[in-house]
Structure 1
Amino acid sequence: MNKEIFIELAFFGNCVLWGIYLLIFYDVFRIIRRVFPRGAILIGIEDLLYWTVSSVLIFRMMYQQNNGIIRGFAILGMFLGMLLYHNLISDPLVELIAGFLNKIKGGILYIIHLILKPFRFLGRVTGHGFSRVFKLFKKISINIRKLLKKHKKSSKITVSDKEKGG
């Protein structure tokens, strides 16, 4: 076999692998999204990050292995790698890993729930106790204000009282 043809076949095989790598990289985002749901804006930012990093990596690979020349068969090789990986492995793998991580996340959240349960109970008990104490202080302060107003009204000396006394 001609040496150049062997080099081109190796490059094509490498492009197929790069297609697989790129989708594995994207599947990491898909798994994270299933474990930690997020809004459309954050998904858009993640996709922009993915495509930016992917394009830089593809350019670097093309530059190193093919002197920066973009060839149709290289793009076809990456597309073929993506297609093979997506149709054979991607969806079941994402479901399996995301399901496993969701179970771990659920277990961790349950443990945290158990750890915090006594503190929540204390918070409810002391919260009700504090609200009772707060209401009591509020009633006391209202009564003190009423007494002060009453005392203030009764202690006012009018001009006619001065004339009578003096």
Structure 2
Amino acid sequence: MNILLVGIMLVFIGVMPSWAQGDPAAVPWNQLSPGEQQLLQRFSDSWDQLPPRKQQRLRKGAQQWGTMTPEERQEAKQRFKQWRALPPEQQQQMRERFQQFRQLPLEQRESVRNARRWFRSLPPEQRKELREKFQTMSPEERRAYRRELRRQYGGNGGNQAPEGTSSR
């Protein structure tokens, strides 16, 4: 009876880390929708060997791609092309910044998103001017300038110029 109890405990201990991490279950290739299979075709031979978390990330990306407009898809392709052209060090730096962003409180993440929306709504020449201006400013001047932009564009409104404008 003790051997059975030890065996059950070992099985439980072996399974417990995956429960604690909330690992998603692997999804067999044949259970993907035809659209997912088409978008993820390059992974078809190795799909079953991929970790479940990677499968889920790929599926989520395929689902997002399916909901994009042609313009959004073109923009995403362009961003990916720019990403691949970056040196590995800069890619790593961007990954780290993204991790920092994901750890921000929801309110701050939304503020950064609003800043990005506002910045991207500007004409290209104005964005270029702002980037050049920020590059020549000290951190204190940047903070003061961001405060002025927030005051000028309405504080917490959707078109505000929040903190994130200095990262470019």
TM-score (norm 1): 0.22
Largest Rg, 1 or 2 = 1
Greater relative contact order (Cα 8 A, min sep 6): structure 1 or 2?
1
TM-score (norm 2): 0.22
Which structure shows the bigger proportion of residues in helix conformation? 1
